[in-house]
């Protein structure tokens, strides 16, 4: 299906796309050597923008925000009748793009997570796609980068000739990263979140039936309760309440945000 355009979900402008439309956009940018910001948003990603006007401003300037979470897809179908048959799951989107990149000889770069995870991810992708051309990879610095470090990172990525950059830093750090690199790279930057540890095999993945019914959050909560309880037990109900208010016309959510005066690259 074609991209049906951006839809306002609690003030966050998410694209009504399927895998095919998202992948076509990525490789159109590659062919045109055009920088683009792309992210896969689940409920947590949406709510981060809802609660932070500066981050809302960033998100709503992304070229493509895909509905990663089932509840995001459900709300888009309910509010706008988009008839999206499936979500665009970040890890699956990354696999599909890597498959096509391997077939077409498109060089990719991996940035984020820890050294063991990014090393395992390289090995995993190489096993799955023997022709893949991973021209560079590095772990997160897990801190804000100085101006000279930001410049050096941009130069490192550009020097490899990478046409696609995958970023796995978690929300909202990965979206900040993509936003701040938007003018310095001549190819798409994709924020894919947990795709790095999931595809590296270092983080267990919810079984397909839980994913299908939108219960991946429960699987992750049971796996990491101390780290994730606030995210899921507070933000998920808030998302449902706000979506209901929007759906019944009781509340309007403006897509306007607040630009940050001083952006700092979070590596």
At 186-197, the pLDDT tens digits run 899 999 988 999
Q: Give me the pLDDT at residue 267, please.
A: 62
Asked whether residue 109 carries a pLDDT value surpassing 60, the answer given is: yes
Task: Compute the mean pLDDT over every residue in the chain, rounded to the nearest whole number.
Answer: 92
Residue pointed to by tokens 């270092």: 202
- Percent of the chain at pLDDT > 70 equals 97
Phi and psi at residue 54, in whole multiples of 5°? -70, -40
Q: For 13, what's the count of Cα atoms within 13 Å in the CB-facing half-sphere?
A: 17
Q: Give me the pLDDT at residue 160, please.
A: 94
Q: Predicted confidence band at 206 (pLDDT cuts at 50, 70, 90)?
A: confident
Phi and psi at residue 42, in whole multiples of 5°? -100, -170
Asked whether residue 262 carries a pLDDT value surpassing 80, the answer given is: no
Q: Predicted confidence band at 216 (pLDDT cuts at 50, 70, 90)?
A: confident
Mean pLDDT of the 93-122 span:
96
Q: How many angstroms separate the CA atoms of 162 and 134, rounded?
A: 8
Q: What separation, in Å, do the N-terminal and C-terminal C-alpha atoms of the chain show?
A: 35
Whole-Å CA distances, 196 to 15, 170, 258: 23, 10, 30
- Pairing verdict, β 6-9 and 12-15: antiparallel
Asked whether residue 55 carries a pLDDT value surpassing 80, the answer given is: yes
Domains and CATH numbers, the chain: 6-194 (3.40.50)
Q: Give me the pLDDT at residue 264, please.
A: 55
Q: Give me the pLDDT at residue 263, please.
A: 59
- Percent of the chain at pLDDT > 90 equals 72
Q: Give me the pLDDT at residue 34, please.
A: 93
Strand order of the β-sheet with 107-112 is: 64-67, 36-41, 188-191, 164-168, 107-112, 133-138
Q: Which has more confidence, 143 or 50?
A: 50
Asked whether residue 45 carries a pLDDT value surpassing 60, the answer given is: yes
Q: Give me the pLDDT at residue 190, please.
A: 97
Q: What angle do CA 222, 227, 232 make, to 5 degrees?
A: 65
């Amino acid at each position: 299906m074609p991209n049906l355009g951006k839809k306002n979900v609690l003030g966050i402008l998410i694209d009504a796309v399927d895998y095919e439309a998202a992948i076509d956009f990525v490789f159109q940018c590659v062919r045109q050597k055009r920088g683009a910001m792309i992210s896969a948003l689940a409920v947590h990603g949406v709510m981060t923008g809802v609660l932070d006007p500066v981050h809302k401003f960033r998100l709503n300037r992304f070229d493509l925000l895909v509905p990663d979470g089932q509840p995001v897809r459900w709300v888009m179908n309910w509010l706008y009748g988009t008839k999206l048959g499936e979500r665009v799951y970040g890890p699956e989107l990354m696999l599909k793009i890597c498959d096509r990149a391997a077939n077409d000889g498109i060089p990719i770069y991996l940035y984020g997570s820890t050294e063991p995870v990014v090393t395992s991810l390289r090995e995993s992708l190489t096993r799955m796609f023997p022709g893949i051309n991973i021209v560079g990879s590095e772990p997160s610095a897990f801190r804000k980068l100085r101006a000279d470090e930001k410049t050096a990172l941009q130069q490192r990525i550009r020097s490899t000739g990478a046409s696609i950059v995958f970023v796995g830093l978690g929300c909202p750090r990965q979206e900040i990263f993509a936003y701040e690199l938007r003018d310095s790279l001549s190819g798409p930057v994709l924020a894919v979140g947990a795709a790095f540890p999931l595809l590296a095999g270092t983080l267990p993945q919810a079984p397909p039936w839980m994913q299908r019914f939108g219960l991946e959050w429960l699987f992750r909560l049971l796996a990491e309760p101390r780290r994730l309880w606030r995210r899921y037990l507070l933000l998920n109900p808030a998302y449902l309440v706000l979506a209901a208010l929007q759906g019944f016309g009781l509340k309007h959510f403006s897509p306007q945000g607040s630009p940050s005066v001083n952006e700092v690259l979070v590596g």
